[in-house]
Chain A
Amino acid sequence: MATVTTRRDQPDNPEAYDERLGRVGLGRRLLARPELGAAVGAVAVFAFFAGYTDQFATARGIGNMLDPAATLGIMAVVVALLMIGGEFDLSAGVMTASSGLVIAMLTTEAGLNVWPAILLALVFGALVGLANGLLVVRTGLPSFIVTLGTFLVLQGLNLGVTKVVTETVQVGGVHRTEGYDSAFAVFARTFSVGDGDYRITILWWLGVTALATWVLLRTRAGNWVFSVGGNPAAARSVGVPVARTKVLLFVTVSVTAALVGAMLVLRLRSVQANQGIGDEFQFIIAAVIGGCLLTGGYGSAVGAAIGALIFGMAKQGIVFAGWDSDWFQLFLGVLLLLAAMLNHYVRRRAEARR
Chain B
Amino acid sequence: MTGPYLEVRDLGKRYGNIIALAGVSTRVYPGTVTCVLGDNGAGKSTLIKILAGVHQHDEGELLVDGAPTRFASPRDALDRGIATVYQDLALVPLMSVWRNFFLGNEPTRGFGPWRRFDVRFARETTRAELAAMGIDIRDPDQPVGQLSGGERQSVATARAVYFGARVLILDEPTSALGVKQAGVVLRYIVQARDRGLAVVFITHNPHHAYPVGDRFLILNRGRSLGDFAKAEVSRDELTRLMAGGAELDALSHELELLRPPPPS
Compute how far the CA of A1 lies from the CA of B133 in the bound complex, rounded to whole angstroms: 10
Q: Which of B89, B99, B145 has the most CB of A within 10 A?
A: B145
A163 within 8 Å of B by Cβ? no
Query: Which chain A residue shows the least CB distance to B131?
Result: A5
- Size of the chain B interface, CB-CB below 8 angstroms: 34
Query: Which B residues touch A219, using CB under 8 A?
Result: 115-117
Cβ of B63 within 8 Å of any chain A Cβ, yes or no, is no
A226 and B90 contact, CB distance less than 8 A: no
Q: B243 an interface residue at 8 Å Cβ cutoff?
A: no
Query: Quick one: given A220-B117, A227-B92, A235-B103, are A350 and B143 in contact (CB under 8 Å)?
Result: yes
| Residues of chain A with a CB closer than 8 A to B39's CB | none
Q: Give complex CA distance A293, B95 in Å.
A: 13
Interface string of B103-134 (1 = CB under 8 A from A): 11110100000011101000000011001001
Q: Does B4 contact A (CB under 8 A)?
A: no
Across-interface contacts of B143 in A (CB, < 8 A) = 350-351
**Residue pair A231, B105 in contact (C-beta under 8 Å):** no
Nearest residue (CB) in A for B137 is A4
Say whether, besides A4-B131, A20-B138, A21-B139, A351 and B103 are in contact (CB < 8 Å). Answer: no
Does B93 count as interface, using CB distance less than 8 angstroms?
A: yes
Distance from B122 Cβ to chain A, minimum over Cβ atoms (Å): 9
Q: Does A173 contact B (CB under 8 A)?
A: no
Across chains A and B, which 4 residue pairs bring their CB atoms closest together, nearest first?
A: A238-B104, A351-B145, A4-B136, A239-B104
Seen from chain A, the residues whose Cβ lies within 8 Å of a Cβ on chain B are 1-2, 4-5, 7-8, 18, 20-21, 24, 214, 217-220, 222-224, 226-227, 230-231, 233-235, 237-240, 293, 297-298, 347, 350-354
Bound-complex Cα distance A234 to B152 (A): 13
Partner of A234, one of B91, B108, B117: B91
Taking a contact as CB atoms under 8 Å apart, the answer to whether B106 and A18 are in contact is no
B120 CB, nearest partner CB in chain A, Å = 11
Q: Does B148 contact A (CB under 8 A)?
A: yes
